[in-house]
Amino acid sequence: MRRAAPPTPDLRERIATASWNVNGASPTEEFAALPLFQHQARVIQPYAAYLEYLAVTPGSVADWRDIPPVPASAFKSHYLSAAPPEVDGRPGSPGVVFETSGTTVSRPGRVRLGDTGLYEASLLRSFERHLLPDGARLRAIVFGPTREEAPRSSLWFMVDRVVREFASGPPHHVVRGGEPHWKIADDALGAAAADGEPLLLLGTTLFFMATFERLAALDRTFLLPPGSRAMDTGGAKGLSAEFARADVAAAFERFLGIPSTHLVNEYGMAELGSQFYDDALLAHHEGRAPLAGKRIPPWVRTRVLDPETMEEVAEDTPGLLVHYDLANAEIPLAIQTEDIGRRTGDRLHLEGRLLGSEPRGCSLTFERFLAEGRP
Amino acid sequence: MSEPTAIDAFYLPAWLAVGMETTVQRFGPPHDSMDLRLPVVSSNDIQRWIEALRQARAERLVNRTTASILRSLDRVATRFLDSRDSARCSAVAALERAGRFSTPMIERCLDDAFTPLVRGGLRKWLTAELGSASALDRPTTVGGATRAAHGPEWMLHVYAGNVPTVPIWPLLSAPLLKSALLAKTSSQEPILAPLLARTIAEVDPEIGECLAVVWWKGGAAELDRAALSDAPAVLAFGGDVAMASVARQARPGAALVLHGPKLSIGYIGRHALTRSALPKLTARAALDVALYDQQGCLSPHAYYVERRGAVSPVDFAAALGDALESFAWTLPRREPTATEAAAIQMARAQARFNAAAGGERAYRGGVFASPGGTHWTVVCENGARFEPGPAHRSVRVHAIESPEEFERAIAPDARYVEALALEEAGPRRASLAARFAAMGLPRIAAVGALQQPSPLSTHGGVGRLRPFVTWTTVESARPTVKTPARPAAPVPAKPPASKPSARGSRTKAGSRRRSR
């Protein structure tokens, strides 16, 4: 099999220069994913076999919508990467290996990247736009572990990368050795409240809510200086840890003094190089009302399919999400998820579990095999 | 869509319901919700109800004869089988509106639940578990032992909502045991159990006085505690977390039967795999899959099919798909939610990926799926493993070499298996059944009979009545006590090392056993 060079430099340039239209409408520019798809169809062997099984000839695909997505669960069963085999996640091996959670096979999936350049270009650009539109460079508190402590986590890789790029000074990490060290959080929050220096907080919604539960039990609050902001991730989906968005926002305001204009929820997954963010802070910065939903980056497309027929549904209709991400250079760019949402223009609205679909009674379902969130 | 009238989703005896504050709540998905009237429950109410139920039981139920209770419950069951009866009609209408199962499925589900109870079925059930139908009335002699049975004073039931008829036998078991009942319904299916209780009260107001069926929100700690802390008997269905919480909060010594999450599976021996038997075999397997859309613990998620039969596992899978296709029309399923359908699509895509890209489980050409929708899915794979599927008529067919391979895969998770549907021709069926029984699986049934358990059988490997019963043994044999012969010469008395306990057990001959 020919190992042609991926069209990565070109993609990095496109991600760096893609323009963010601001009216919320569907993108009109061409989504040039076919060269990357055809490259992947050559170099990712299991994907090539899958295409053959589906009787899809890569060269004859003329529209990005016809690129067959891989099921996210296939990262559990197959070596689904163009990265060389020496990218194996062992100490000293090149590149990174992220582990995923998912639903259909119990072992975790593995996302192998020999070169994280494109991934980093994507995550930095989206984060800066949605969390730091004012160009602020803030002290950061990570409500989670360091990258070294969680080397298999795409989330903590991302957080590490953004705080190295954008934070002023070294970040505080609240989780050390797998345990929360609340004093680190209390000290950093207290110091910021006292000296008036705004903070950047990053973590999972679940962990933030646990933090607030603890503060409530202690009857303690912090009033962080204006300009402080938080990125929380998760919480819009998942089983045990689902919170109403309004409750999360109210808790940030009450315990930290962070208003909802400065709280930005992120949606991402290890199988995607790109992330999707709320509009709250960007809209506040631009002095306009926030658009509902999360921004689909210009180098990403999301199709919403009827989960029964797998046909694309009309705009603003809920369905199963399939993402096409140009930041996925070494892993297939088209990913079929189990997430349900709807798309309006360039915004994605994620839906949690439907009312009435509580975990079932005496029937054992694969919900109990479902690992929570993104590791 | 929703009609203006709210459905009463609770049952309380009239005198307890007087002055009861109720609230109307919306259940179900937003696009198709219905309004249910529910009592506003406080922990004080629960305590008051329990007290009232106990008193009603003492005054109206405990001294009734079993025969009179059986007559009433038989009448209730008969009403639910009569398509012109108001109870049956209300049940069908309410379950239709709840929208979780199609109408043919609801009709079938009521028939399956009530048919085994009529025409002496209830009496057989009682006899099967207690040895005699009058064991709760007076001491009866069975197999040489004379015993009287006692049901608990009252029972707490916590129902699950996955299959609407699951509460029916448990609810009837309380009056069958002459026990009062406080039952908590599931928010998934809060309608049928109150309707059944109301029908019992119509038929037999005295029994009706001893029943309360209500709903409160799961995890409402204070209410759960009020119901659980003093219950002498608890029967609960639910997830692992809920069951652990019930076990933690129950009073010491309470009779607890907790049914956690389970599923069922099938095993097809190679001698059963013939061309001529295939259509009927797969039709029966498909019925087990189709009934209740794999929402129940008796629903099969996987068939383990031996190789080297005249029909290969993949041909079995294809034929099972054809059989499921015909049930898609005759016994339609309820449309799954988007999330549920997305899980089916993921499983299908993964199966195709496996088939395409190889790997240990790959079975090329082994993915069968309904066209144009997720109505049914059959995936054939190599080797055995145990894992629930996404349900809603999705099954895996595992091509296996031997029963050993099956045992190795299932044994670690055998506690999650409710039943095994076993098909094999000739004497090998009995020997396979013996092997699989040795794994401790609670029930081994014929393919096609998974969803028709008998009340005479166990649920989850335990009886439906027996675990809650205590016994009085009445012994009549008088021991013959021999007067000890005077010893020829007096033996010098040796003081005992310690004084024998007055409560020390006696041997048959009545001599005191030396306590140590």
Inter-chain touch A320–B340, beta carbons under 8 Å: no
Q: What is the CB neighbour count within 10 angstroms for residue B383?
A: 15
Inter-chain touch B339–A357, beta carbons under 8 Å: yes
What is the arithmetic mean of pLDDT over B482-502? 61
Kindly state whether A369 is in contact with chain B, defined as any CB-CB distance less than 8 angstroms: yes
Strand A276-278, strand A294-295: pairing: antiparallel
B67 Cβ contact partners less than 8 Å away, ≥ 6 residues apart:
B133, B134
Cβ atoms of A20 and A129 within 8 Å: the answer is yes
The mean pLDDT of chain B is 90
Tokens, residue A183: 């004093």
In DSSP terms, which residues pair with B149 in a beta bridge? Answer: B471
What are residue A134's phi and psi, to 5 degrees? -90, 5
The DSSP H or E segment spanning A340 is: strand A334-344
In DSSP terms, which residues pair with A173 in a beta bridge? Answer: A142
**pLDDT of amino acid B484:** 76
* Nearest Cβ partner for A71 among B337, B353, B416: B353
Quote the distance between the C-alpha of residue A266 and its chain's center.
6
SS3 content of chain B, % helix, strand, coil (to 5): 40, 20, 40
CA angle B291, B292, B296 (to 5 degrees): 115
**pLDDT of amino acid B28:** 64
SS3 (DSSP) at A375: coil
In which band, very low, low, confident or very high, does the pLDDT at A367 lie, cut at 50, 70 and 90?
very low
CATH number attached to the domain at A119-295: 3.40.50.980
Tokens, residue A166: 């954008």
Laid out side by side, the sheet with B145-150 consists of: B140-142, B145-150, B470-473
Q: Where are the alpha helices (DSSP H) in A167-279?
A: 182-195, 205-218, 245-256
The DSSP H or E segment spanning A277 is: strand A276-278
Q: Which residues of B touch A100 (CB under 8 A)?
A: none
Residue A250 has pLDDT above 90, yes or no: yes
> With 0-12 CB in 10 A as exposed, 13-18 as middle and 19+ as buried, what is B487?
exposed
In which band, very low, low, confident or very high, does the pLDDT at A355 lie, cut at 50, 70 and 90?
very low
Q: Which residues of A touch B297 (CB under 8 A)?
A: 362-364
Residue B512 has pLDDT above 70, yes or no: no
Q: Which residues of B touch A351 (CB under 8 A)?
A: 338
Inter-chain touch B356–A54, beta carbons under 8 Å: yes
B414 Cβ contact partners less than 8 Å away, ≥ 6 residues apart:
B439, B440, B441
C-alpha B191/C-alpha B62 separation (Å) is: 28
In which band, very low, low, confident or very high, does the pLDDT at B497 lie, cut at 50, 70 and 90?
low
Give B338-377 pLDDT, tens digit per residue: 999 999 999 999 999 999 998 767 777 789 999 999 999 9
In which band, very low, low, confident or very high, does the pLDDT at B85 lie, cut at 50, 70 and 90?
very high
Where along chain A do the CATH 3.40.50.980 domains lie? 119-295
Q: What is the CB neighbour count within 10 angstroms for residue A261?
A: 15
Q: What is the CB neighbour count within 10 angstroms for residue B483?
A: 5
- pTM recorded for the entire structure: 0.87
C-alpha B316/C-alpha B279 separation (Å) is: 9
C-alpha B398/C-alpha B301 separation (Å) is: 11
Indicate the residue type of A357.
S
In which band, very low, low, confident or very high, does the pLDDT at A239 lie, cut at 50, 70 and 90?
very low
Report the candidate in A87, A78, A2 with the shortest Cα–Cα distance to residue A332.
A78
**pLDDT of amino acid B492:** 59
Kindly state whether A349 is in contact with chain B, defined as any CB-CB distance less than 8 angstroms: no
Give B129-156 pLDDT, tens digit per residue: 999 999 999 999 998 899 999 999 999 9
Kindly state whether A312 is in contact with chain B, defined as any CB-CB distance less than 8 angstroms: no
Cβ atoms of B285 and B396 within 8 Å: the answer is no
Q: Which residues of A touch B296 (CB under 8 A)?
A: 362-363
Taken in order A140, A270, A322, B290, the sign of the CA dihedral is: negative
Report the candidate in A158, A180, A74 with the shortest Cα–Cα distance to residue A375.
A158
Name the more confident of A342 and B508: A342
Indicate the residue type of B73.
L
Tokens, residue B182: 């406080």
Inter-chain touch A364–B297, beta carbons under 8 Å: yes
* Closest residue, chain B, to A353 (C-alpha): B339
Kindly state whether A362 is in contact with chain B, defined as any CB-CB distance less than 8 angstroms: yes
Domains (range + CATH), chain B: 7-261+462-470 (3.40.605.10), 263-445 (3.40.309.10)
Quote the distance between the C-alpha of residue B201 and its chain's center.
24
Q: Which residues of B touch A101 (CB under 8 A)?
A: none
What is the arithmetic mean of pLDDT over B6-20? 89
Inter-chain touch A46–B349, beta carbons under 8 Å: no
What are residue B26's phi and psi, to 5 degrees? -100, 130
Tally C-beta pairs within 8 A across A and B. 172
From the candidates A363, A368, A372, which should be mutated to test the interface with B, based on the most B CB atoms within 10 A?
Answer: A363
Report the candidate in B370, B402, B365 with the shortest Cα–Cα distance to residue B384.
B402
Taken in order A68, A71, A74, A79, the sign of the CA dihedral is: positive
Quote the minimal CA–CA distance from A351 to chain B in Å. 9
Matching residue, tokens 């809650």: B468
Cβ atoms of A248 and A208 within 8 Å: the answer is yes
Give B191-231 pLDDT, tens digit per residue: 999 999 999 999 999 999 999 999 988 777 899 999 999 99
C-alpha B359/C-alpha A307 separation (Å) is: 27
Q: Which of A5-19, A153-167, B213-227, B255-269 has the lowest mean pLDDT?
A: A5-19
C-alpha A62/C-alpha B151 separation (Å) is: 73
Tokens, residue A254: 């009450």
Report the candidate in B28, B80, B241, B246 with the shortest Cα–Cα distance to residue B157.
B246
What is the arithmetic mean of pLDDT over A44-52? 96
B5 Cβ contact partners less than 8 Å away, ≥ 6 residues apart:
B35
**pLDDT of amino acid B490:** 59
Q: What is the CB neighbour count within 10 angstroms for residue B475?
A: 9
Distances (CA, A) of B467 to A341, B63, B256, B298: 47, 21, 8, 21
C-alpha B185/C-alpha B9 separation (Å) is: 9
C-alpha A38/C-alpha B247 separation (Å) is: 57
What is the arithmetic mean of pLDDT over B111-123? 97
SS3 (DSSP) at B121: helix
Q: What is the CB neighbour count within 10 angstroms for residue A66?
A: 12
What is the arithmetic mean of pLDDT over B410-424? 95
